[in-house]
Amino acid sequence: MARHREALTPVRSTRNGIALGLISLVPLVFATAVFLWPLGVLVARAFDDSDGATLPELWDRTHAWRLLAVTVGQAAGSALTALIVAAPIVWLLSTVRLPGSGLLRAVVTVPFVLPTVVVGVAFRALFDGPLAFLDIGQGWTAIIVAHTFLNVAVVVRVVSAAWQRIEPREVAAARTLGASAARAFLDVVIPRLLPAIASAFALVLLFCSTSFGVIQILGGGDASTLETEIYLQGIGYAKLPDAVALSMLQIVLVLAALGVARVVGSTRVPPTGAGAHLRPPHGAKRIAVAAVLAWIGLWLILPIVTLVIRSLRPGGHWGLAGYRALADTTYGPSAYSSLGYSVSSGLLAAAIAVVVGLLTATALTRTGGVVAKLAGGLSVLPLGVSAVTLGFGYVLALATVPYEIAASPLVVPCVQALIAIPVVVGVMVPALEQVPDRLRDAAAVLGAGPLRVFVTVDLRLTARSLAAAAGFAFVMAVGEFGATTFLARADTTTLPVLIGSLMGRPGADNFAAAMAASVVLVAVSAAVVAVVETVSSAPETRAPGRNAPKKKGSARADAA
């Protein structure tokens, strides 16, 4: 029997290698067709329309270096503010055991998955309402505050996951040697958190440097970054070479931010298990907990509450006029029909993102070959390309294909899936890495083929992470605004696109409808995030066998 198994091993290895090679090709083909093709068409068109100007000349006439400085400056300011605002929240979630901590994590996470246009509407309502006395309704201060609201969750998840990986015995040893609690925190905890803090800073800078909806709504027409100037040059002035030149500069900036995030975040501390640092609050610590909860309410809950109140009191009088306007079809499809389309396209986009992202993660963890690494790199690149650039590329690319293809119902979901695939890959790569190889080998020895091994071993042990990835993919797809704006037709108008359209129309009724539609989108996103957090906090599935290790961490840590 042993000789029989040894004889089958080369055949099985060859079969597994072929299967994994084919798996690597699927995300590569998808990224080429859905991502590289429209960008290639856009660049080719830009060169065709070029007046002979070189790239430095294009940058000079578009004031690219000034725009780059402004973009980096506002993004760095937003990232620094997000670190400051998130610091007490990280301490609370990393060290204090509270009832309802899953709900608290959901509250922190919801802003990150909200469409930027909804965040812009919420802060317009806040700065024009309860905080009108501050006189910051529009401009860079309003933009930085809104960016902070959006990205606190990034800092909280990245840094709190790193905190949970610190060995509590090291802190206890420092205290035993006479260090005070503050000294032990500064000497033991902070140095181990610095890579995560730097990584979170780079990620927030990345997201803020490509922000579009927030700057459009809160900029007041005066705030200009690389992203908004790409839109102005490409759409407003129809200057494709100038828009593409700015896009190239933005891609370099974002790739640099991604590189920094990966380098500084590559330092790993052996995991200690979730909850190792959590202790119930006692004495004066309860006052600190209450203060942090109030801090969360100020930064993360007040804007949403203000949005809800303004949607119910749009003209100074309580009523449901804004919600009744959601059924209005005067200017096209109603908000309810747009919501229905958003949900259906979001579900399809999430399914596409889960399939492609899971295959990418599998290829990266099981093969690590050139094709797999190329597919993995392409899966992250959509984070570094302007949504405006991608949307404009689709407009040009779809004009070159038959109408049946251009009007396909898969176009919008595929574009939405592009921004969700990196999230799925980020969740599933660490989850799949925790699956013991010996379980796969045992299943293969017992005669299971590659697909059977994948389903019965990998998928079963990573089901929670996969469910969380699917949930996040859905809310991110539903909230996609930039590229979808260019592709929306009467029957494919998503709710974020409709909200942006309502914000651009004059009249109190349209503003009330925009607020009501934003509340509906917030409710959908919050419900999905709550389900994801519930799934993430469920008991882990253990690998079979007496000595099989438990999975360390959760989808929350994996996502970070």
Other beta carbons within 10 angstroms of residue 425's beta carbon come to 23
pLDDT single digits (tens) 264-291? 765 444 444 555 567 777 777 889 999 9
Structure tokens given for 396 = 């040009």
3-class SS letters over 529-543:
HHHHHHHHCCCCCCC
Question: For residue 17, which of 455, 459, 450, 458 has the smallest C-alpha distance?
Answer: 450
pLDDT single digits (tens) 520-536? 999 998 889 888 877 77
Tell me the HSE value of 257 on the side-chain side, using a 13 A CA sphere: 27
C-alpha to C-alpha distances, 272 to 46, 162, 536, 551, 557, nearest whole angstrom? 53, 10, 18, 11, 12
Structure tokens given for 455 = 């389903």
Mean pLDDT, residues 334-358: 91
Contact 39, 393 (CB under 8 A): yes
Other beta carbons within 10 angstroms of residue 457's beta carbon come to 22
Question: For residue 380, which of 360, 365, 410 has the smallest C-alpha distance?
Answer: 360
Three-class SS state of 279: strand
- Convert 337-350 to b/e letters by CB count within 10 Å (16 or more is b): bbbebbbebbbbbb
The more confidently predicted of residues 266 and 155 is 155
Maximum CA extent, the chain: 84
> What does the alpha-carbon distance between residue 536 and residue 65 come to, in Å, rounded to a whole number?
44
- Banded model confidence at residue 6, pLDDT cuts 50, 70, 90: very low
Other beta carbons within 10 angstroms of residue 191's beta carbon come to 10
Other beta carbons within 10 angstroms of residue 46's beta carbon come to 22
Residue type, 307: L
Contact 93, 163 (CB under 8 A): no
> What does the alpha-carbon distance between residue 443 and residue 16 come to, in Å, rounded to a whole number?
13
- The secondary structure of residue 185, as a DSSP letter, is I
Q: Write down the pLDDT at residue 539.
A: 53
The more confidently predicted of residues 550 and 177 is 177
Contact 383, 254 (CB under 8 A): yes
Structure tokens given for 524 = 């959908």
> What does the alpha-carbon distance between residue 150 and residue 118 come to, in Å, rounded to a whole number?
11
C-alpha to C-alpha distances, 540 to 105, 188, 430, 455, nearest whole angstrom? 18, 29, 15, 17
Mean pLDDT, residues 322-345: 86
The more confidently predicted of residues 276 and 228 is 228
- Banded model confidence at residue 133, pLDDT cuts 50, 70, 90: confident
C-alpha to C-alpha distances, 509 to 213, 310, 334, 516, 519, nearest whole angstrom? 21, 12, 14, 10, 15
Question: For residue 416, which of 465, 361, 344, 364 has the smallest C-alpha distance?
Answer: 344
> Of the ranges 80-84, 325-329, 333-337, 465-469, which is most confident?
80-84
Mean pLDDT, residues 80-100: 91
The more confidently predicted of residues 432 and 388 is 432
> What does the alpha-carbon distance between residue 37 and residue 48 come to, in Å, rounded to a whole number?
17
- The secondary structure of residue 548, as a DSSP letter, is P
> What does the alpha-carbon distance between residue 415 and residue 488 come to, in Å, rounded to a whole number?
12
Percentage of the chain modeled with pLDDT above 90: 18
pLDDT single digits (tens) 174-210? 878 777 778 888 888 888 899 889 989 988 998 898 8
Q: Write down the pLDDT at residue 5.
A: 44
Beta-bridged to residue 279, according to DSSP, are 96
Q: Does residue 497 surpass a pLDDT of 50?
A: yes
Structure tokens given for 318 = 């309580």
Residue with tokens 């959908």: 524
- The secondary structure of residue 219, as a DSSP letter, is S
Radius of gyration of the chain (CA): 25
Q: Write down the pLDDT at residue 555.
A: 35
Mean pLDDT, residues 434-457: 82
**Range with the lowest mean pLDDT among 105-109, 247-251, 350-354?**
247-251
Residue with tokens 């007040």: 302
Cβ neighbours of residue 113 closer than 8 Å, sequence gap 6 or more: 472, 475, 476, 479, 525, 528, 529
Q: Does residue 326 surpass a pLDDT of 60?
A: yes
Structure tokens given for 23 = 């798996």
How open is the CA angle 8-449-18, to the nearest 5 degrees? 80
Question: For residue 296, which of 124, 100, 433, 505 has the smallest C-alpha distance?
Answer: 100
Q: Write down the pLDDT at residue 265.
A: 62
Structure tokens given for 453 = 């091994």
Residue with tokens 């759409």: 235
**Residue 179: Cβ-neighbour burial (10 angstroms; 0-12, 13-18, 19+):** middle
> What does the alpha-carbon distance between residue 293 and residue 235 come to, in Å, rounded to a whole number?
44
Strands (E), 91-150: none
Structural domains in the chain, CATH included, are: 11-43+313-560 (1.10.3720.10), 68-265 (1.10.3720.10)
pTM: 0.82
Mean pLDDT, residues 137-155: 92
